[in-house]
Amino acid sequence: MKSVICFARGDAKDTLKIVERPTPDPGPGEVRVRVHVSGINPSDFKVRNGSQGQMPAEELVPHCDGAGIIEAVGDGVPERRIGERVWLYNVNRTEDGKGQIARGTAAEQIVVDQKYAAPLPHGISYETGACLGVPAMTAHRLLFADGPIKDKWILVTGGAGAVGLCAVQMAAASGAKVIASVSSDEKAKTVTEAGAIATINYRNENLPERVLEITEGTRIDRVIDVDFAAHVNAAPSYLKSGGFIAQYGTSDPAPTLDYRAMLLQNIVIRSVLVYGIDDEAKAEAITDINQFLREDVLKPIIHRVFPIEEVVQAHEEVEAGGYIGNTILSL
């Protein structure tokens, strides 16, 4: 079988290659999946380029997310799962989600614990399935970890990103009043079509002022935040007392926090590293995500599909960024 391997830290052209490997056999509790599509997330190139520290092994198969079909099962796994279409998540993570391992989805056949192979609803493409693990599960946790969101005002920063767009779609479908910050008219159009009732171009508009203009002075309930450092100290000016900041990224890993402003507003900060959420939260996410898919609510945008032979170009595309949607690898 064909497999991509990463054998060093550095640029994609210097660290990735395609090799032939034996087809793996599933052990107890495992399934072997014929991977049709492998999803590429920013965390995947950050492992490769060294920005997330040492590699966990001398060589590894990259990528966390994917989609395919179960070909074989190990002891303890119902044989009825053979032939099941699945979407994959947490494939390259340790059991607690905090570390990286050498296994990934950029291979034609992989073996994983059956819990990491979620059923892919009928009629949903493998391409869509490969876009769910990190983006949709992150968005789900950010939105629903702190109670119902119906009729809540929610600001999604970076609303046209892979996580942000999932959050906009699911929040709007759940009855929330969604504001999304974006960086262009094209992205504003995308998030509006996804269900946002208003957009803010953070490049040329004052975000706190615009939030309160949109709500006619009503402070909002929650922020789903892609850049904690950039937004945390302004948030008390437009968040209601007891409001939430649910954040999953930051441009500064050690931002200065205006503690008194946060204290006076009783603001709650939730941090989400999707790989490490507990099993109950993962199960809830899978159930809800699949229901949103069936209802045609959750619709990831596919930016570009690369064949496995162009894995270097695919990584370069993701690392360059600036586009709307997901970049995926066809196997």
Rounded CA gap, 169 and 195, in Å?
6
Instruction: Say what the pLDDT of residue 6 is.
Output: 94
Between the CA of residue 267 and those of 76, 152, 245, 271, what are the distances in Å? 46, 16, 7, 13
- For 296-323, b/e burial (b = at least 16 CB within 10 A) is ebbbbebeeebebeebbebbbbbbeeee
The domains located in the chain, with CATH, are: 2-132+300-330 (3.90.180.10), 135-274 (3.40.50.720)
Rounded CA gap, 82 and 104, in Å?
21
Residues 6+ positions from 230 with CB-CB distance below 8 Å = 157, 250, 251
Using DSSP, state whether 147 is helix, strand or coil: coil
Residue range 84-99, pLDDT digits in tens: 999 999 999 999 998 8
Examine the pLDDT at 159 and tell me if it is beyond 80: yes
Instruction: Say what the pLDDT of residue 37 is.
Output: 98
**What is residue 195's DSSP assignment?**
T
Instruction: Say what the pLDDT of residue 76 is.
Output: 98
Considering the chain, what is the average pLDDT of its residues? Answer: 96
CA atoms lying within 13 Å on the CB side of residue 245: 26
276, amino acid identity: G
Q: How many Å from the N-terminal Cα to the C-terminal Cα in the chain?
A: 10
Between 52 and 111, the more confident residue is 111
Examine the pLDDT at 52 and tell me if it is beyond 80: no
Rounded CA gap, 305 and 325, in Å?
11
Residues 6+ positions from 87 with CB-CB distance below 8 Å = 65, 66, 67, 117, 118, 120, 129, 130, 132, 133
| Contact assessment for residue 74 and residue 62, using Cβ atoms and an 8 Å cutoff | no
Rounded CA gap, 57 and 316, in Å?
22
Q: Rounded to two decimals, what is the model's pTM?
A: 0.96
Examine the pLDDT at 54 and tell me if it is beyond 80: no
Examine the pLDDT at 46 and tell me if it is beyond 90: no
Residue range 160-198, pLDDT digits in tens: 999 999 999 999 999 999 999 999 999 999 999 999 999
Percent of the chain past pLDDT 70, that is, above it, reads 100
| Contact assessment for residue 118 and residue 87, using Cβ atoms and an 8 Å cutoff | yes
Q: Across the strands, what pairs with 113? A: 30
Using DSSP, state whether 310 is helix, strand or coil: helix
How does residue 49 score in pLDDT terms, banded at 50, 70 and 90?
Answer: confident
Examine the pLDDT at 80 and tell me if it is beyond 80: yes
Rounded CA gap, 150 and 90, in Å?
29
Residues 6+ positions from 134 with CB-CB distance below 8 Å = 39, 41, 43, 64, 65, 89, 162, 163, 274
How does residue 56 score in pLDDT terms, banded at 50, 70 and 90?
Answer: confident
Helix (H) or strand (E) segment spanning residue 264:
helix 259-264
Examine the pLDDT at 305 and tell me if it is beyond 80: yes
User: By CB neighbour count within 10 A (0-12 exposed, 13-18 middle, 19+ buried), where does 118 fall?
Assistant: buried
The token pair that represents 23 in the structure block: 């087809």
How does residue 53 score in pLDDT terms, banded at 50, 70 and 90?
Answer: confident
| Contact assessment for residue 26 and residue 72, using Cβ atoms and an 8 Å cutoff | yes
